[in-house]
Amino acid sequence: MCVLCVVCVLYFAQSADLTGVRGEESVAVPTPISSQDLWTLLLRRHPRLSALQRRVVLAVRQQYVAIGDHLLTLEDGDEVAVVPPLSGG
Amino acid sequence: MAEEECSLKVLLEEKDREIAALKCKLAQLEKSHAPALELHGKVTPLTPLRAKPALSNEDIMRYSRQLLLPELGVKGQLNLSKTSVLVVGCGGLGCPLAQYLAAAGIGRLGLLDYDEVELSNLHRQVLHGEENQGHAKALSAASAVRRLNSTVECIPYHLQLSPENALQLIQQYDIVADCSDNVPTRYLVNDACVLSGKPLVSASALRMEGQLTVYNYRGGPCYRCLYPLPPPPETVTNCSDGGVLGVVPGIMGCLQALEVLKIASGQGSSCGQQLVMFDGLGAKFRSIRLRPKQADCAVCGENPSVTRLVDYETFCGSAATDKCRKLNLLSRDQRITVKDYKSILDNSDPHLLLDVRPLVEVDICHLPFSLNIPLSNLEERKSEQIQLLQEKISQLKQQTAGDCRPPVFVICKLGNDSQKAVQVLEKMSGSEVDSITVKDISGGLMAWAQTVDPTFPQY
């Protein structure tokens, strides 16, 4: 059965510029959810993130998840992070 | 008899002291005669770095505070002295990195940078001084490092890392540190490290954020495993556009030095499958656990498609520099030069000057009669700002006795954003605002400062 949970999403580097926010405290997400569907859900909230498609690290509970069929079981309060690479130095 | 013996002993002690003083003087003289640092314009073969059989008394004193660490000890220190590290980029990351590696007694440091020291570098590139402006960064960094520890062998390279020279260079070093400032160089360094089997300690920083990972290390991923495709060039922000607080690359360069020292001493890095992120605003570190290397990776995978170095500027669609690109979005009649604009001012021709830079840049400097509406606000059609623009156009129309397309000139820092703004304004003209004639001021305020008004600040 599919239930909703509330996660926190953090946007780093360029993704903070594209979304205009550094983080969102409570984002309702169905669980279980594939990592692809989670990414699509974020894209629907912030269409400009599509510029980073296949060029970004997505992390759930501070662990890398490949964007694909991989099924994620989320819990309330889980941290989702969108991390594009930084290139400056 | 006893008296004679006694006086001989005193004499002998005196001579011993004299000999010791002479030895010391000679050593100092020899040190000051160490060969002048030779700037390398191309990659040349290096002699193998020889391992020290033991620490000298001077080594023991110099490194005593780290020798006391069980994690390092004498063995670790000797390991450092036989390790060579290539530092790619002597900027905000490379300076603190090279400084700590030299201080800790690394054996050999290759310091690579194609650029020269500029005044705007000094807030973060802390090995360079005011007197080094205009000098090669590699040489400036090497002389600073030598002052700190003359026993470290320093090789300054004043050259751009390229697909032609990268492998030959990287093969000669044990560890590579990516301290570069652009995307093509990051892919180039990654591929060269994978192809030559070297661990890559990679850090980056922008604004108030930093990232660090050790790539191609003990089964961990390479840069391409994480980022198979380069970011679209228009989404990449560099330090000269986005800014950076100097201490942020300082922190990341120090972390990089820590990981290099752990690998070099034999202890091993803990960042091989970890992305460490530093958030300077919240003063927080976060670590993301990464996957191992990917079987389908284009360079470190099982069937790699990249088996030799390629053209990384083409792959990334951008130049291997952090200097701003010059866009050419408009036709010649849509642009005027800063000199043309000066004569419009001198003739007091009625017009509107629109400055499309972000507010933070307008605060640094602006032309006093300009109207500021940032490009992003125009693109998003912020209603308040569009209304303001319309008001100014109406006023202008009154001054120009009802000119049906009054002139609007658009300016920014370098003349890239202003071209984008001209395109946006042309779409709005006649529909969202009254009809206008829009032109870009080519080269922006920096061209204004260089050719019209030398008292106008440059940044």
Q: How far is CA B187 from CA B193, B204, B232, B274, B330, in A?
A: 10, 13, 14, 19, 32
Instruction: Determine the average pLDDT of the residues in A61-72.
Output: 95
Binary contact (A83, B277; C-beta < 8 A): yes
Asked if the C-beta of B284 comes within 8 angstroms of chain A's C-beta atoms, the answer is no
Residues 6+ apart with CB under 8 A from A12: A81, A82, A83, A84, B209, B277, B279
Classify B407 as helix, strand or coil: strand
B415: alpha, beta or left? (left if phi > 0; alpha if psi -120 to 50): left
Domain that holds residue B146: 31-316
Report field, pTM of the whole predicted structure over 0.90? no
* Residues B311 and B348 reside in one and the same domain: no
pLDDT for position B33? 63
* Residues B37 and B155 reside in one and the same domain: yes
d(CA B257, CA B66): 14
- Domain assignment of residue B230, yes or no: yes
Structural domains of chain A, with CATH:
3-83 (3.10.20.30)
- Domain assignment of residue B404, yes or no: yes
Q: How confident is the model at residue B30 (pLDDT cuts 50, 70, 90)?
A: confident
- Domain assignment of residue B22, yes or no: no
- Domain assignment of residue B246, yes or no: yes
* Residues B242 and B200 reside in one and the same domain: yes
pLDDT tens profile B389-413: 999 999 999 988 877 899 999 999 9
Residues annotated in a binding site of B for ATP: 92, 113, 120-124, 137, 181-182
- Domain assignment of residue B168, yes or no: yes
* Residues B309 and B357 reside in one and the same domain: no
What is the secondary structure of B330-389 as a DSSP string?
A: S-GGGEE-HHHHHHHHHTT---EEEE-S-HHHHTT---TTPEE--HHHHHTT-HHHHHHH
Residue B341 confidence (pLDDT) above 80 = yes
* Residues B307 and B341 reside in one and the same domain: no
Q: How confident is the model at residue B316 (pLDDT cuts 50, 70, 90)?
A: very high
* Residues B283 and B429 reside in one and the same domain: no
* Residues B239 and B287 reside in one and the same domain: yes
Chain A neighbours among B 349-408 (CB < 8 Å)?
A: none
Q: How confident is the model at residue B2 (pLDDT cuts 50, 70, 90)?
A: confident
Instruction: Determine the average pLDDT of the residues in B328-351.
Output: 95
Catalytic residue among B154, B193, B239, B316: B239
**In B193-268, beta strands by DSSP E:** 200-206, 209-215
pLDDT for position B34? 65
* Residues B264 and B171 reside in one and the same domain: yes
B443: domain CATH number? 3.40.250.10
B156: domain CATH number? 3.40.50.720
pLDDT tens profile B169-221: 999 999 999 999 999 999 999 999 999 999 999 999 999 999 999 999 999 99
Query: Hey, how many other C-beta atoms are within 10 angstroms of the C-beta on A54?
Result: 9
- Domain assignment of residue B326, yes or no: no
Please count the structural domains in chain B: 2
Choose the mutation target among B211, B226, B382 for the interface with A, i.e. most A CBs under 10 Å: B211
Q: Among B286, B316, B346, identify where a domain stops.
A: B316
- Among residues A75, A80, A78, which one has the least CA distance to residue A31? A75
Asked if the C-beta of B244 comes within 8 angstroms of chain A's C-beta atoms, the answer is yes
* Residues B160 and B222 reside in one and the same domain: yes
Q: Among B289, B316, B343, identify where a domain stops.
A: B316
Beta bridge partners of A47: none
Classify B197 as helix, strand or coil: coil
How many CB pairs (< 8 A) connect A and B?
Answer: 100
Q: Are B240 and B322 in contact (CB under 8 A)?
A: yes
Chain A neighbours among B 155-184 (CB < 8 Å)?
A: 178-183
Is B95 assigned a catalytic role? no
* Residues B252 and B118 reside in one and the same domain: yes
- Domain assignment of residue B25, yes or no: no
Q: How confident is the model at residue B418 (pLDDT cuts 50, 70, 90)?
A: very high
φ, ψ (nearest 5 deg) of residue B378: -65, -45
Query: Hey, how many other C-beta atoms are within 10 angstroms of the C-beta on B176?
Result: 29
- Domain assignment of residue B221, yes or no: yes
* Residues B305 and B337 reside in one and the same domain: no
Classify B34 as helix, strand or coil: coil
Pairing between β-strand A23-31 and β-strand A3-11 as defined by DSSP bridges: antiparallel
Q: Are A88 and A62 in contact (CB under 8 A)?
A: no
* Residues B380 and B288 reside in one and the same domain: no
